[in-house]
Chain A
Amino acid sequence: MKGSHKRINRNHLFYLMLLIPAFAIVSTCILLPLVKSILLSFQEYRMVGPLENRGKWVGFANFFSVLKGTELPNALYITLQFVCFVVVLEFLLALGTALSLHTGLGRVQAKRKNVLQTLILFPWVTPTVICALLWAWMFQPQYGVLNYLLNRFGLIHSPLAWLVDPSLALASVIVTALWRDLPFMFLMLFAGLQTIPKEPYEAALIDGAGTFRRFFSITLPFLRNVIRTTVLMAIITNFKQFPLFWTLTQGGPMERTTNLSVLTYKKAFIHLDFGMGAAIATVWVFGLVAFALLYTKVFQSEARE
């Protein structure tokens, strides 16, 4: 008994030692910068200006300043709009594509299926900045291919300023984000569909269930866990989206595409006010973490029911 107790302790020690390198890397690369950033949010830290003021502890002054102004609510509104549109459209399009490919699987040869899957994945494997640059050229009002094609087919008569018109800029970024992120969600949902057993469908068919009934009563419940995870990942990824926004519009025109990430970057690296930038980052990072916890809890309690 004593011997087995000793063996258990030695095993635990061994497991802990195996975890130390990973913990060290995570601490250095994630925890330390996070703690530093939070501490910075309580300081006045401008890269330009008198040196004696730099690093002065100002308590919650940065937070009050950020919450009092209109920039944070505006950025939050832009971010929520972007996330809602991208996630909902991404989910619907990915599910539709996955269902089409899944139901058509029997008629599609394995080789063609692989080719199709590779082609579908192409946008996702392209680096985000490259995607943004490609679309920036396509959206170019004077010589972009999009305006050329639309004009050619008579859909527009004068070039549209996709990234410069305040009413079109956010929609243009949304389109780019959809093109970029759709393949991943498609892949996850498609993989999820492949794991659903055939028997419930056969039983439902015998019972006379129609297509929609089978979809809502069998397909969606079986896909529940996959949907939960992929939607949460999509929400988080798009909430903190920066390269697309910055490469396409730099937050303009007139701050119509300044989301929370862009606002944080602008404050820290354009206005060179690290304290204010850290305060904005702290506010929305903790908000996002709280949302993720709540989201997971809601899904878990529904699963228990």
Chain B
Amino acid sequence: MKTILSVVLVFATAVSLFSGGTKESKPAETPKTIKFATWGVQEKGTQGYFEGFKSRFEAANPNIRIEWISYPYTQIKQQVLVMGAAKQIPDLIQAERGWLAGMISSGYTAPLDPSIAPEYMREVQPALKEDLSMDGKVWGAVWIYSPFILYYNKELFKQAGLDPAKPPRNYAEALDYARKIAQLKDKDGNNVYGLGITTGNVPVSGACLLSVLFSFGGGIWDTAGTVQADTDANREAMEFLSLLFKEKLNPEGAKLKDLRNLFAIGRLGMYLDQLWGLNGVKAINPGIIPSVGTSGPLGTARSAGKSTLEAHLLLLGKDSKVSKESGKLVDFLTGKEMLKEYLSVNPFLAARTSAATALTEAEPLLAPLKDVAGSIVSVKKHPNLEAAYLELTNAAQAVTVGKGDAKSTAAILDKKLKEILK
């Protein structure tokens, strides 16, 4: 009896601890939090900018907070996909253009519309809007973009007897220039490469190679949308790569970071890169920047220069409870003011027409690229696009270090792409 009474008393005491309290007053409005998945806040070069815009946005919007979900660049895609599988997709995601199809097909991203990001949707350049559209919806905002452009060293041009104000306009001219530049030696007696086109085993190299195929009039899909890589145009592009390798004009199997390294130390005359690649060059040798020139994608006799769209996107997470606030952040980040600040970190092009003009005026390197949006070719959105890009790098290596012929390589590439992109 005593035991039962003790238990009842203890239970009653415990319950009473949680049942007391006065009538609650109405709580103050709690700020809404945007969970923003990004790699930028982890990188030394961009960390300051990211922390800066966070402070400014929160100061301008006292009821909105930004919470970083930050991972290194090499891990963020996988981590976001895992979060999506766990139904914890971030509200806003910084993503590469190549990830878009996977995000859409997995159902992790919500479309953008004028009610969410009105300023962006009103001003975005049509070619960029079209590239991110599927089934009549726009699936993300372009934060910064760049086609694969030509960076060249004006000093090396002068040494090779070339006019630094007249970069090559097509691959035939580029070959001619490259041969002249390759006659040079650097101050330590090392050879100088003429034209760098990345063939390393990473997806971004594949995107660059696809841009080269486009410029030669080729690609990986035909006009009907069927995979078709075994074409005369693609073989011609592969023969060009093979020629560059045979004449030792292109560093073997180089990734973009290798090309940036060589360009920074004055051992590479010209190379194809995204605009923000200059950040990598600047980190190695800031002194080379005054010698750097830019030109749009190289073309051929048949076709003007073309490129894939390389972009850092802002994607809205599906079923986000703060999509309006995220849209506000999208408008803020893609606006002229914030992009001009971002320009001090690395060069890029802006998606919104008002910002595009301002940036071109602010940065001399962008002046030759003001009409480059027209060179962008919209690439079909396929979840396995990155795997296809890796096959392109395998094909490039087959005709260069593998010493294979373009005909059989194109046939093998076609077979592999048909399997990957089915």
A residues with a Cβ closer than 8 A to B are 46-51, 54, 140-143, 158, 161, 163-166, 249-255, 269-272
Contact = CB atoms under 8 A, between A and B. Distances in A.
Contacts of B172: none
Contact of B102 (A48, A140, A165): A48
B251 interface: yes
A55 B388 CA distance: 24
Interface string B382-407: 01101100100110011001100000
Interface of B: 78, 81-82, 85, 101-103, 105-107, 190, 193, 200-202, 248, 251-253, 258, 262, 265, 267, 383-384, 386-387, 390, 393-394, 397-398, 401-402
Contact of A163 (B251, B253, B398, B402): B253
A161 B397 contact: no
Given A48-B383, A164-B252, A272-B102, A251 B401 contact: no
Contacts of B402: 166, 253-254
Contacts of A255: 394
A46 B84 CA distance: 12
Given A165-B401, A252-B394, A49 B106 contact: yes
Given A158-B248, A254-B394, 4 more contacts: A48-B102, A165-B401, A250-B202, A253-B201
Contacts of B258: 140, 142
Q: Which of B200, B248, B383, B386 has its CB near the most chain A CB atoms (within 10 A)?
A: B383
A49 B201 contact: no
Contacts of A251: 201
Contacts of A270: 386-387, 390
Q: Which of B82, B251, B252 has its CB near the most chain A CB atoms (within 10 A)?
A: B252
Contact of A50 (B78, B107, B267): B107
A165 to B, nearest CB: 5
A161 B252 contact: yes
A54 B87 CA distance: 13
Given A141-B251, A250-B201, A164 B397 contact: yes
Q: Which of A50, A140, A166, A254 has its CB near the most chain B CB atoms (within 10 A)?
A: A254
B201 A47 contact: no
A263 to B, nearest CB: 13
Nearest to B101: A48
Contact of A142 (B107, B267, B390): B267
Contact of B106 (A48, A141, A250, A252): A48
B401 A166 contact: yes
B4 to A, nearest CB: 35
A133 to B, nearest CB: 13
Contacts of A158: 248
A249 B397 CA distance: 13
Given A49-B383, A161-B253, A271-B384, A254 B107 contact: no
A60 B398 CA distance: 33
Contact of A254 (B82, B190, B387, B397): B397
B397 A47 contact: no
Nearest to B404: A254
Given A47-B78, A48-B102, A49-B106, A54 B401 contact: no
B159 to A, nearest CB: 19
A47 B258 CA distance: 31
9 contacts: A46-B383, A49-B106, A50-B105, A50-B107, A141-B253, A254-B394, A254-B397, A269-B78, A271-B384
A164 B105 contact: no
B186 to A, nearest CB: 10
A48 B108 CA distance: 9
A288 B108 CA distance: 38
Contacts of A269: 78
Contacts of B251: 141-142
B255 to A, nearest CB: 9
Contacts of A161: 252-253, 401
Contacts of B401: 161, 164-166, 253
Contacts of A166: 397, 401-402
Contacts of B78: 47, 269, 272
Contact of A165 (B85, B252, B262): B252
Contacts of A47: 78, 81-82, 85, 102, 106
A251 to B, nearest CB: 7
Nearest to A55: B85
Contact of B201 (A46, A51, A54, A252): A252
A298 B387 CA distance: 43
